[in-house]
């Protein structure tokens, strides 16, 4: 949610500093007592009330009469709640700095593969001297050559002289040997640090990377790009744009970016007033034609700068990404609203069916009125379906989305005892052979809550549902463990489905993370599938990005690890998870955030 990184959208003054640190590694925060972030061990509380715990494969029962539909804040409240930015404060030191010049304490990661080659060194700010971070991963596999994959991440190895800090610039990681080795390629002219001209010359950073393959070795790479400058006079938001770079050779070379949507600058790149901010891009492509789609969230302000709405929107291309049609709304309009799915949305994720249907999954507040102030109001995982190329959509609610509780010291939702922000946005998978959709998201329906609805202990689980046609969905199945899972991804091919996510299953302290997967041939079997560990060693997510607690005033290490992870499944039934790892490259760099992957045969 890059919009949070530009203003105090959710957490107020300190929340802004935490989020800014997440994208730049050089944001400042109040000094605090020396030491590490507050932590707690992982055992489950005894006797917690509230949401009734369930075993994997089962879903928690509905709230009792008179209970609110969910305990935690609605998405609409989170998106709308914002305060002033506050003044700059003295810099802190990220945990990664304590490893500079020392041996990396982690062992060789094989068969895990570090995708990062030629990593940079942070030149300023709270991570000065550390290897630069890569996080928020995406990956896609060539539908006609399963050994050709392209991945991406927020990649901070470029120093932006205009800002005086390292910032995201857009990088592709490409393999033609099934993921054994990777070539890192910088996308051209996305930001002012990488040669952008014209309308993009004002943009400081690129992020929210996402990839999709079309036919003929065509690869689409979507980003948001944005300015970190204050909004132009008369506006409420800084400049932002949705861009797509296209490769025609499987990801080795990339065309200049196509601007799908831009707000806040004129064609020469000079700032203009705007009340829109474009956020959280995602892509899907038809593997047999030149049709591709970009979805994103368009934050819209009232004239006074307060939150109005954040509908999911879409733009399509019929010519392999050379041009895109004007955007249309996926979300319902505010005008004429009579209750149901609102335009208070985030986290879109599209897929293209073999009949050309477009499916878009996202999280939305579902409310009786636009005020969203009733006990029955709740968040939901929604899938919208278009049969006319993205011109019109029908919404289907998959299930209630039980968002994670807010950590008031961080100012965002977190797992118990962790500092990194999390969300419950869904990811879609599509089995083209079986013509079946799958959706997964992580939420806290099985967490421990007291009688007042206050979180006692999170228990994030992956939820999975399936559909033919997108309009009727199965009852979700829990895929997880007694420990937390978060940031899940899903892929399916030829009757096989696989879910991947971070997990706290393997660390006795409940702080370090691993990446794991579950696989089966049906939803019922997936709910009974055993967890299979991917990472060869648990690693500490507090290694980079530091902030200060808005309640305690203490140092908080590890406030950002990205907002999603990814997985792809090739036609050879080889699974390719892609995640942010915190070991760096043992033997080459000290611990830091790197993009990792591994090829796993499901045959």
Helix (H, G, I), strand (E, B) or coil at 2: helix
Helix (H, G, I), strand (E, B) or coil at 75: helix
How far apart (Å, rounded) are the C-alpha atoms in residues 603 and 72? 41
Q: Kindly list the structural domains of the chain, giving each domain's residue range(s) and its CATH number in brackets, ordered by start.
A: 2-40+48-601 (2.120.10.10)
Residue 137 — very low, low, confident or very high, per pLDDT cuts 50/70/90? very high
Residue 405 — very low, low, confident or very high, per pLDDT cuts 50/70/90? very high
Residue 2 — very low, low, confident or very high, per pLDDT cuts 50/70/90? low
pTM (2 d.p.): 0.91
| pLDDT at residue 131 greater than cutoff 60 | yes
Structure token digits, residue 62: 């509905």
In 3-state terms the chain splits into helix, strand, coil percentages (rounded to 5) of 5, 40, 55
DSSP-assigned letters across all residues of 531-557: PEE--SS-B-GGGS-EEE-TTT--EEE
pLDDT score at 478: 98
Q: What is the mean pLDDT of the chain?
A: 89
Least confident of 8-17, 50-59, 488-497: 8-17
pLDDT score at 72: 84
10 Å Cβ neighbour count for 601?
A: 9
| pLDDT at residue 316 greater than cutoff 90 | yes
pLDDT in tens, 545-597: 999 999 999 999 999 999 999 999 999 999 999 999 999 999 999 999 999 99
Beta bridge partners of 219: 213, 247
How far apart (Å, rounded) are the C-alpha atoms in residues 558 and 562? 11
pLDDT in tens, 86-106: 333 457 999 999 999 999 999
């Amino acid at each position: 949610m890059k919009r949070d990184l530009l203003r105090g959208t959710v957490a107020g003054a300190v929340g802004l500093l935490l989020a800014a640190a997440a994208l730049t590694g050089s944001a400042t925060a109040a000094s605090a007592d020396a030491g590490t972030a507050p932590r707690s061990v992982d055992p489950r509380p005894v006797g917690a009330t509230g949401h009734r715990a369930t075993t994997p494969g089962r879903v928690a029962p509905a709230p009792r009469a008179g209970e609110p539909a969910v305990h935690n804040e609605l998405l609409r409240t989170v998106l709308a709640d914002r305060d002033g930015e506050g003044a700059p404060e003295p810099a802190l030191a990220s945990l990664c700095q304590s490893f500079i010049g020392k041996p990396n304490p982690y062992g060789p990661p094989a068969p895990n593969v570090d995708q990062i080659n030629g990593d940079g060194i942070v030149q300023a700010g709270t991570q000065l001297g550390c290897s630069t971070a890569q996080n928020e991963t995406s990956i896609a596999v060539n539908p006609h050559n399963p050994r050709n994959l392209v991945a991406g991440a927020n990649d901070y190895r470029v120093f932006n002289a205009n800002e005086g800090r390292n910032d995201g610039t857009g990088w592709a990681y490409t393999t033609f040997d099934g993921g054994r080795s990777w070539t890192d390629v910088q996308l051209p002219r996305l930001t002012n640090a990488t040669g952008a001209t014209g309308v993009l010359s004002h943009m400081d950073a690129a992020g929210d990377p996402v990839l999709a393959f079309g036919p003929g070795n065509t690869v689409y790479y979507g980003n948001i790009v944005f300015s970190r400058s204050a909004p132009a006079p008369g506006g409420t938001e800084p400049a932002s744009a949705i861009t797509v770079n296209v490769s025609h050779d499987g990801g080795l070379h990339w065309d200049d970016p196509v601007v799908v949507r831009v707000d806040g600058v004129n064609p020469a790149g000079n700032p203009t007033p705007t009340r829109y901010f474009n956020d959280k891009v995602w892509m899907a492509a038809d593997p047999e034609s030149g049709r591709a789609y970009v979805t994103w969230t368009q934050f819209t302000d009232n004239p006074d700068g307060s939150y109005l709405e954040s509908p999911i929107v879409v733009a399509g291309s019929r010519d392999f990404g050379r041009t895109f049609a004007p955007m249309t709304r996926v979300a319902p309009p505010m005008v004429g609203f009579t209750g149901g799915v609102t335009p208070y949305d985030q986290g879109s994720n599209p897929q293209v069916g073999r009949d050309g249907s477009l499916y878009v999954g996202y999280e939305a507040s579902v409310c009786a009125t636009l005020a969203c102030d009733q006990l029955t109001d709740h968040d939901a995982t929604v899938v919208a379906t278009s049969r006319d190329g993205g011109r019109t959509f029908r919404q289907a609610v998959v299930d209630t989305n039980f968002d994670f509780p807010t950590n008031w010291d961080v100012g965002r939702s977190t797992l118990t005892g962790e500092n990194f922000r999390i969300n419950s946005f869904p990811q879609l998978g599509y089995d083209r052979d079986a013509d079946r959709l799958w959706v997964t998201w992580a939420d806290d329906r099985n967490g421990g809550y007291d009688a007042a609805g206050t979180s006692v202990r999170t228990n994030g689980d992956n939820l999975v549902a399936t559909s033919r046609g997108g309009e009727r969905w199965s009852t979700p199945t829990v895929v997880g463990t007694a420990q937390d899972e978060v940031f899940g991804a899903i892929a399916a091919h030829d009757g096989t489905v696989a879910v991947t996510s971070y997990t706290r299953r393997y660390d006795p302290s409940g702080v370090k993370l691993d990446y794991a997967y579950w696989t089966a041939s049906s939803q019922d079997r997936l709910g009974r599938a055993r967890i299979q560990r991917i990472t060869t060693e648990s690693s500490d997510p507090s290694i980079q990005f530091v902030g200060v607690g808005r309640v305690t005033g203490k140092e908080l290490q590890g406030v950002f690890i990205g907002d999603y992870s990814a997985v792809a499944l090739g036609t050879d039934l080889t699974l390719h998870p892609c995640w942010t790892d915190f070991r760096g490259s043992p033997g080459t760099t000290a611990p830091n955030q790197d993009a990792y992957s591994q090829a796993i045969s499901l045959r």
